[in-house]
Amino acid sequence: MGRSRGGLTTKIHAVVDADGRPIGVDLTAGQAHDSRMAEPMLRDMRNGTILLADRAYDTNSLRELAKEKRAWANIPAKQNRKESFPFSSWVYRQRNQIERFFNKLKQFRGIATRYDKNARNFLAAIKLVATRIWIRSL
């Protein structure tokens, strides 16, 4: 848990497959940048996959990780980036699967309101809900 102007906050980081099923879930403090958790969570990425992420994940290290895994990083470039990279807006529309996953996650009141004060308990509750989402999709 991290402290911000709004109080103690937590960010949920998730990786989902093409069907919106969760593959990995983790927590960080609310003030931590999103891209810090991207590399550890994507280390197990299979070769030849397509990595869809928003502009916050447009870092050289993440693009190099994708190149190592022979994956295509379809990430829109930041406004201040001088280099250009191949980007398909049509493929990028599939990124809504992660948004749908978070919407399903928020349907559970305990997750949406963050009743748990302990980060480990909160992560365990998220993983239980993620398991239920996975099972319902089969």
Q: What is the pLDDT of residues 14-70, one digit of tens each?
A: 999 999 999 999 998 888 888 888 899 998 888 989 999 999 899 999 999 999 999
Backbone angles phi, psi at 87, to 5 degrees: -145, 135
Q: What is the pLDDT of residue 2?
A: 44
pLDDT band for 7, please (50, 70, 90 cuts): low
Q: What is the CATH number of the domain that holds 91?
A: 3.30.420.10
Instruction: Give the structural domain span for 85.
Output: 2-137
pLDDT at 8: 64
Question: Mean pLDDT score of the chain, rounded to an integer?
Answer: 88
Q: Which residues partner with 16 through β-bridges?
A: 22
Indicate the number of domains in the chain.
1
Query: Which of 88, 94, 77, 31 minimizes the C-alpha distance to 62?
Result: 77
C-alpha–C-alpha distance, residues 8 and 22, integer Å: 25
Poorest-confidence range of 17-21, 77-81, 111-115, 119-123?
Answer: 111-115
